[in-house]
Chains A and B, each alone.
Chain A
């Protein structure tokens, strides 16, 4: 977040605390898409994402005065949003099919790679916009264990810094880093199966 954005957020937070309804419009303008996208990416359900967004609007409006300014305002908003998402997800627990251990590559006794690692990064780039690719990617993210998924979405999708994500999740910086690292390893493993099978002749390495 830039210094200007931070300054604007501080003013916005202060006005919301005072119950300024115009400030609420500005809040909706800035956050509606972020909250909806976060909720949609975590629940994969339009109705659930809409419910979560409404819930967050109400909480922010009614409880702005409880914001104490100990963390950034945006981190507080993400925390409120995540709590609303947790409530939704709690009623819809799913199987999580890949374990974190499976996502680590195998090393020999000296700590060197034991298996062949194919570089499919260029074919990923060229296949990005096909509908098949999108749905494979969405289901890979969907199947991440919940803690890793949330860290991944806040950092790599929403673009929060490690510090901001740690504030929103009330975790240490090193816990956020290790969850994000595990999420990326699992996604790499899941997507490897798909992209390796799609290697473009001549580009394959």
Chain B
């Protein structure tokens, strides 16, 4: 059976679904008997999800959008 340290090295490809069936099966067998690895997997995914949800809320503020628009008018459209 694979150990926790080996599981850690496989996590990235496991989440991407990029492991071979055989390796994936041995990883999942390890998870069944190893609550710490399950917690680690859950929090590894949760950390990434939490960051994604927070950072994808970044919008272009209205004043920036207005500045960019006049920048384009002045420096790109009028120069072409």
Contact = CB atoms under 8 A, between A and B. Distances in A.
Nearest to B61: A46
16 contacts: A21-B80, A54-B71, A57-B68, A107-B5, A113-B37, A117-B39, A117-B40, A118-B39, A119-B39, A119-B42, A137-B50, A141-B51, A152-B51, A181-B11, A184-B12, A191-B50
Given A53-B68, A117-B36, 13 more contacts: A36-B58, A36-B60, A37-B59, A54-B68, A57-B71, A58-B75, A104-B8, A110-B3, A128-B54, A137-B50, A138-B54, A187-B47, A191-B50
A192 interface: yes
B53 A205 contact: no
Interface of B: 3-6, 8, 11-13, 16, 34, 36-40, 42-56, 58-61, 64-65, 67-68, 71-72, 75-77, 80
Contact of B48 (A24, A50, A184): A184
B50 A57 contact: no
A84 interface: no
Contacts of B54: 128, 133-134, 137-138
A128 B53 contact: yes
A128 B51 contact: no
Q: Number of contact residues on A: which range applies?
A: 35 or more
A177 B10 CA distance: 11
Interface of A: 19, 21, 24, 28, 32-33, 36-37, 40-41, 46, 49-50, 53-54, 57-58, 61, 104-105, 107, 110-113, 116-121, 124-125, 128, 133-134, 137-138, 140-141, 152-153, 156-157, 162, 177, 180-181, 184-185, 187-188, 190-192, 195, 205
A121 B42 contact: yes
Contact of A41 (B43, B48, B55): B55
